[in-house]
């Protein structure tokens, strides 16, 4: 059985501020590039500007989802067993950053092989595959770093609070910047391409230099290890993980479709962007304060349930009467509260799931859990992009028309494509929390015993 090595002191565990800040900044920039590309930007650019058919773009996302079925668990398994002087995760972050940024920049330039549907289809597919490969290596490593930098929930929580602050940037850039700089049909894309290039270069520098400011404390030194398939199967034997994945899938799906749909929403409706994003920002700040305050008295399960129910009500209202500005502003506010819950509650919940796995198996397996999580959530990105395009098309949305010229039915279709699926998934997530077992005194006692184990180790 695997042994654990930890530098946890006998006094209160602390993570240096520089480590928390640089990790959060790197995670922010990694997510910003991914949000700009997979959160609707790539789909919009290839269909609306470059002229790829919506059906072919949807096929790209579906094929890509199959690749993710193999990509993420495999990398998580490999990274858990990586041995280097830098640790298990940092080599992937430091040396993958350059290639990740280069592929991001090249996404926004047309290949010199013509502009046929076949060429555009291949370009979008190949670019997406390469981009996601390096995103997986970097993002997975950044995602699990808090669980290796610290052992106690208090110390981890301090990292997550920093990550939430920086996550507001990674959420706002795709939501705010892309609609402002996106090239319209027939425009010269040079300005847009230069801005995207600058963002890519900046992200590379942040991610690369961040790796000099944090390190891993908890690492496996096991001689005996599970095989890949057994390791994956063990994850699904963890009931708390299954319940967690319903929520995790929902959060990723919603983040993707909301960032994609907002581009189309502001094209067709008169809700002031500044007021909408102001309400979103206020909601995010209020949500952070709310969930931090309520986590101790309510616990993770009850907080997640409340978040899902309130968010589902808001999504339903936008789907039905989102053309009304007062309703839209309330929905943007509650969306901010929901985003804050996803950024704060989901990683804490995930940490408990991993800790419970260690109690069951004796092994520390952050990487495989991150990989299997991505196996389930990455298809959410593909499905969100494909679902939005298909639903909007059913309502008669015409990508050849300039902003504001869609029919009344097509405009309503934008609202339905944007918010109907999130409302349904949020209700399912709230129901899934009834089956989440990690709460109450028994779980608190197990967490205390695990902390003592690491202290003694």
In tens, the pLDDT along 265-302 reads: 998 998 998 999 899 989 988 998 999 899 888 989 99
Mean confidence (pLDDT) of the chain: 86
Whether the predicted pLDDT of 136 surpasses 50: yes
Which of 218-232, 252-266, 430-444 bottoms out in mean pLDDT, i.e. has the lowest? Answer: 218-232
User: Which residue in this structure is represented by tokens 């193999």?
Assistant: 70
- Model pLDDT, residue 380: 86
Whether the predicted pLDDT of 235 surpasses 70: yes
- Model pLDDT, residue 423: 96
Of 79 and 3, the one with more pLDDT = 79
Whether the predicted pLDDT of 438 surpasses 50: yes
User: Is 1.20.1250.20 the CATH number for 14-215+227-452?
Assistant: yes
- Model pLDDT, residue 219: 54
Strand, helix or coil at 4? Answer: strand
CA angle 439, 444, 448 (to 5 degrees): 150
Per residue in 192-224, pLDDT tens?
Answer: 999 999 999 999 999 999 999 988 875 554 434
Entry pTM: 0.70
Phi and psi for 4 in degrees, rounded to 5?
Answer: -115, 140
The residue-averaged pLDDT of 299-313 equals 94
9 — pLDDT class (breaks 50, 70, 90): very low
- Going by C-alpha positions, the residue among 201, 185, 171, 151 that lies closest to residue 15 is 151
Run of H or E residues at 1 = none
Annotated domain spans of the chain: 14-215+227-452
Contacts of 257 (CB under 8 A, 6+ apart): 384, 385, 387, 388, 417, 418, 421, 422
Of 226 and 369, the one with more pLDDT = 369
- Model pLDDT, residue 2: 40
| Chain centre distance of CA 351 | 16
């Amino acid at each position: 059985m695997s042994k654990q090595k930890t530098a946890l002191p006998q006094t209160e565990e602390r993570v240096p501020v520089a480590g928390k800040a640089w990790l959060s900044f790197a995670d922010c920039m990694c997510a910003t590039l991914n949000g700009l590309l997979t959160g609707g930007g790539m789909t919009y650019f290839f269909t609306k500007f470059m002229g790829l058919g919506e059906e072919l773009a949807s096929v790209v996302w579906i094929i890509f989802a199959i690749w993710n079925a193999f990509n993420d668990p495999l990398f998580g398994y490999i990274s858990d067993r990586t041995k280097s002087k830098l640790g298990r995760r940092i080599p992937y972050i430091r040396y993958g950053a350059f290639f990740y940024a280069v592929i991001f920049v090249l996404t926004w330039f047309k290949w010199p092989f013509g502009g046929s549907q076949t060429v555009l289809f291949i370009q979008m597919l190949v670019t997406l595959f390469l981009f996601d490969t390096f995103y997986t290596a970097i993002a997975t490593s950044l995602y699990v770093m808090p669980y290796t930098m610290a052992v106690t929930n208090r110390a981890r929580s301090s990292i997550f609070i920093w990550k939430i602050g920086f996550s507001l940037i990674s959420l706002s850039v795709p939501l705010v910047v892309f609609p402002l700089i996106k090239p319209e049909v027939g425009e010269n894309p040079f300005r847009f391409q230069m801005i995207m290039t600058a963002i890519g270069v900046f992200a590379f520098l942040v991610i690369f230099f961040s790796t000099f400011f944090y390190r891993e404390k908890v690492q496996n030194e096991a001689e005996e290890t599970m095989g890949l398939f057994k390791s994956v199967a063990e994850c699904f034997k963890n009931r708390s993980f299954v319940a967690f994945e319903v929520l995790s899938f929902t959060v990723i799906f919603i983040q993707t479709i909301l960032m994609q749909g907002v581009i189309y929403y502001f094209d067709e409706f008169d809700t002031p962007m500044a007021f909408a994003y102001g309400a979103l920002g206020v909601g995010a700040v209020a949500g952070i304060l709310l969930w931090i305050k309520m986590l101790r008295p309510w616990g993770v399960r009850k907080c997640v349930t409340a978040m899902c129910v309130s968010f589902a009500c808001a999504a339903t209202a936008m789907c039905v009467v989102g053309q009304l500005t007062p309703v839209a502003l309330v929905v943007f506010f509650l969306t901010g509260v929901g985003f804050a819950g996803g950024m704060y509650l989901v990683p804490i919940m995930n940490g408990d799931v991993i800790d419970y796995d260690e109690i069951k198996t004796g092994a520390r397996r952050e990487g495989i859990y991150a990989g299997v999580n991505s196996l389930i959530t990455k298809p959410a990105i593909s499905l969100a992009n494909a679902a939005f395009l298909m639903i909007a098309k059913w309502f008669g949305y015409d990508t050849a028309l300039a902003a504001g010229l869609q029919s009344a039915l097509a405009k309503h279709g934008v609202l339905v494509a944007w918010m109907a699926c999130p409302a349904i998934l949020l209700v399912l997530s709230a129901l899934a929390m009834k089956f989440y077992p990690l709460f109450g005194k028994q779980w608190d006692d197990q967490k205390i015993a695990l902390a003592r184990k690491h202290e003694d180790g």
